[in-house]
Every structure is written in C-alpha cells, then in structure tokens.
Structure 1
Amino acid sequence: MSSGRSRVPKKITEEEINDLISRLQALVPERRTESLSRASASVVLKETCNYIRRLHRELDSLNEQLAHLLENMDSSGAEAEIIKNLLM
C-alpha cells in the first residue's frame, strides 16, 4: 500500500553512466567508424543529438517523398492500394 510518500529514485553510479555512454557510443555511426578511442560523455551526447536530428530530417524528407508519390498515383490502382495497406 502507498503511504503517500514519493519514492526516492535510486542514485545512478558513475560506472553505470560510463556503461550507458559506452553503449550509446556504439550505436552512433560516427562513433562506430572512428577508432576505438573513448570520447568524453559530452562529445558522445552531442554527436547522438546531431545523429537523431539528422534521422528526423531524413524521415521528414522520406515522408514528403511518399506523400508526393501517393498524390500522383492513381488512387484506384492496385499499386496504390498495396502501398496504403502496407502503411496502415
């Protein structure tokens, strides 16, 4: 039962932070292609933010291209129906 008090979050250790930064570093393409040297946490986080922004821009561009294709496609055609079904 709840006593009405909020739970105090567990403090994360420096070792856990380093582990998370290392795991993040392995996910970002710029970090994977560079030598295995360890970058500072701030560099890894900055590169991760830039990578996520780039992915968002790429996604927006692909969405625009898809919307343009769907607009120019015969809506009664089989291809349009297949694409629409795949997107739903």
Structure 2
Amino acid sequence: MSNRRSRVSEEEINRLVSKLQSLLPETRQRGAGRASAAKLLKETCNYIRSLNRDVDDLSDRLSAIMATMDSSSAEAEMVRSLLRS
C-alpha cells in the first residue's frame, strides 16, 4: 500500500458537489444556482441532523403507540410485522 494520498480532481469534486446539491430539498427549490461547496456541506449536515431528529421523533411516537396496545392484539402484531420488513 502506498503512503501517497490519492488526489481527487477538481472536476470530480465539482461533479460530486453537483450531485449532492441535487439531493438536498433546499437547493432543489432554489433552482440551478450553484452554492459554494462549503455552504452545501453545511446545508447537508443540517439536513442530516434534521432527518435524525425526525427519526427520533417518529421512534418515540411509535414507542408510545406500542405501549398503549395490547401486545397480543392484531394491530400490535401488524405493526411488529411491518417493522420486521
């Protein structure tokens, strides 16, 4: 294995930044204008944090719903089967 770091070309970075920009809802809504790579990375981090908060919230809500269900009920079994898929 070589000690040299592999270099990523500026063209490859630009391609990856464009691809990332197309995945973020905020940048898609703004249109075709290019954001700086640093700003785009910050927005990406914020978006991922937001998604994590949403997952945590939905998990808490699901736990609360499951706690109110009779564990042997058909509804509880349906929820468990959905979670396994």
- Work out whether the TM-score is over 0.5: yes
Structure 1 position 9, deviation (Å): 4.8
More helix by percentage = 2
- Unpaired runs of at least 5, structure 1: 1-5
Q: % of aligned pairs identical?
A: 49
Aligned partner letter, 1:65: R
Distance 1:69 1:85 in 2: 15
Distance 2:35 2:55 in 1: 28
2:29 alignment counterpart: 33
Q: Deviations over 1:29-87 (max 9, x none)?
A: 00000031101000110000000000000000000000000000111110101111111
Please report the TM-score for the alignment, with normalisation by the length of structure 2: 0.92
- Unpaired runs of at least 5, structure 2: none
Higher relative contact order (CA 8 A, sep 6+): 1
How many residues align? The count is 83
Aligned partner letter, 1:13: S
Greater gyration radius: 1
Aligned pair 1:65/2:61, yes or no?
Answer: yes
